[in-house]
Chains A and B, each alone.
Chain A
Amino acid sequence: MAKEPTFAQHLRLYITGYILSIVLTLAAFAAVLTTGKENKSVLILVALLGVAQLVVQLKYFLNVTTQRDRRDNLALILFSSLILLIIVMGTVWIMGNLAVRMHTTM
């Protein structure tokens, strides 16, 4: 493992994470409020910014790394994300399909 960061380095890590997450949040709010909330395609941008924010916070705040001695955490997170993806995507897919077949609007 790499040698432990000093107090200042450690602090800088959290502050960098904070600044990045603030920038990403501002970008998401600005995108939605300026393009008008009726524009559906803005959500793609919001989703991308959300994923970027997720990565930033996992790296800087939750200290998840790909380092060999921390692989257990990463494996757990990836597995849980897989389950989450199956549940959420599956639900939206099935219920959306059902709504279309029943001619109801969702």
Chain B
Amino acid sequence: MNPVSSPKSPGSINPHEAIHRDPEMVIFGFWVFMMSDLIFFGVVFAIYITMVGATAGGPGPKELFDFGSLFAQTMLLLTSSLTAGIATVIVKHERSRAAFLFWVVITLLLGMGFLALELYDFAGMAEKGGVPQRSGYLSAFFGLVPLHGLHVTFGCLWMIVLIVQVFTMGLGDVVKLRFLRLALFWHFLDLIWIGIFSVVYFGGWVYG
């Protein structure tokens, strides 16, 4: 737990190394980060809710949303959460490195598929005049949904870096712990997406 209480003399321990001795602490620290991110998302959600209806004569949710694409995006993200979970189980039970890499690559591809669909959706919205500067409503929409997309983008980058690290550093404890945090982050994004399709899309459609 505490680096000072370690049996070795405290001076000889590299503090960075000491942190990695306690995986529970590292995971807990990551939870603290995720919860601060959750509150950040919460504020942007609150802005969106107060901005529903502030369309200033521009296109609103009823003209802009494509529920087919929304459904496909939701399925891609949910499935990628499962594949990230399978990779987690493989890491925890120390199964083969190849199987681990396989499931990480599948997760990465599903994540990129989600991003491609989302960008396609935004392009479709822009064609109908739904650009961020059109109204307060659209500013709020493009403040929230692409913020989630940006998180997914960074998650994908994280996966690419992790795959490179597995090849260069091997699947050691440090890389494993990095993956466990990535998996938590990925499941967390899935949870935020539940909020987005319930509040932004369904809520926006009904009240907008």
Contacts and interface: CB of A to CB of B under 8 A. Distances in A.
B163 to A, nearest CB: 21
A91 B46 contact: yes
Contacts of B42: 84, 87-88
Contact of A106 (B50, B187, B203): B50
B50 A76 contact: no
B93 A7 contact: yes
Given A25-B78, A77-B31, A10 B206 contact: no
A57 B187 contact: yes
Given A10-B93, A18-B78, A33-B67, A57 B190 contact: yes
B32 A76 contact: yes
Most chain B CB within 10 A, of A29, A33, A95, is at A29
Contacts of B141: none
A94 to B, nearest CB: 9
Most chain A CB within 10 A, of B28, B47, B49, B202, is at B202
Interface residues of A, number: 47
Contacts of B93: 6-7, 10
Contact of B81 (A58, A61, A91): A61
A10 B198 contact: no
B43 interface: yes
Contacts of A72: 28
A67 interface: no
Contacts of A28: 197-198, 202
A102 interface: no
Contact of B82 (A14, A37, A80): A14
Nearest to A106: B53
Nearest to A92: B49
Contact of B202 (A32, A38, A73, A96): A32
Given A53-B194, A80-B39, A14 B32 contact: no
Interface of B: 28, 31-32, 35-36, 38-39, 42-43, 45-47, 49-50, 52-54, 62, 67, 71, 74-75, 78-79, 81-82, 85-86, 88-89, 92-93, 95, 184, 187-188, 190-191, 194-195, 197-198, 202-203, 205-207
Interface of A: 6-7, 10-11, 14-15, 17-18, 21-22, 25, 28-29, 32-33, 37-40, 42-43, 46-47, 49-50, 53-54, 57-58, 61-62, 72-73, 76-77, 79-80, 83-84, 87-88, 91-92, 95-96, 105-106
5 contacts: A25-B194, A32-B205, A57-B190, A77-B31, A87-B42
